[in-house]
Amino acid sequence: MIFLIISCTGNESDSANAVIETKMSGYVTQLLGMEGIEDVSVCDVDCTTTNGEGFYTLRSKHDFLGRQLVMTKDDMVPGLVPILAQHPSQTIPNISLVTPALIEAQMGMVDLEWEEGTGILVFSVSNGVFGDGINVPDITLSMRDDIGDGPFYTNSSGLPSTELTSTSVHGGGVWLNIPSGAHTLMPSNLPEGCAIVLGWGMIEAIEVPIQAGYITFMRLECISS
């Protein structure tokens, strides 16, 4: 397995090579029902596994802020979670891993197949209220480079649609068949008060790592919306 670690540039802490110790914790859940998934391997420099409730805690020492958690479990599509490790203790948003069969079914809704040698981006624009089912509509996203298939925004039921041209109240979407590498995602029509929760860079140009065979998770949070 290849662990792709990319540092963010232009940060004083990065250039000074200051060692930062961070405790990261969160849950890995099923997409449907939000039940925790046990025995998921969660890796940064070191690794841990989720408990029976899908909860993990991972401590890491590093000298740059741009980190990437790698989440794997047999019979599930592995995930990449880009974060900025800016605090001694950070709570990572819930990450939902899915089975290959579910990915195949959702890609069938947009009449596509997962191409070999590419990855998938799952993005969301949250209102910051967990579990209310209402997120930020009318947001559009573009890639700096003309790559992959998408974006496909999800409807109010959370299913990808070929008809939507911006986010629905579900606030999310997918970008399919993206080549491996670091790519820049640019959102439009964001309200005031938005911040990157999962991803690197600036809100106007969000850097996300893509790896073949993996799902990358990108999330924005707009509290004022």
138-150 pLDDT per residue, tens: 999 999 999 999 9
Q: What is the pLDDT of residues 135-178, one digit of tens each?
A: 999 999 999 999 999 999 999 999 999 999 999 999 999 999 99
Q: What is the pLDDT of residues 54-84, one digit of tens each?
A: 999 998 877 667 889 999 999 999 999 999 8
The structural domains of the chain, ordered by start, are 12-97 (2.60.40.1120), 100-222 (2.60.40.1120)
- The distance from CA 95 to its chain's CA centroid, rounded to whole angstroms, is 8
pTM (two decimals): 0.89
Mean pLDDT of 105-117: 96
The Cα 221–Cα 211 span in angstroms is 24
pLDDT of residue 116: 96
Beta carbons within 8 Å of 131's beta carbon, 6+ residues apart: none
The Cα 136–Cα 187 span in angstroms is 12
Two tokens, residue 169: 């109240």
pLDDT of residue 87: 78
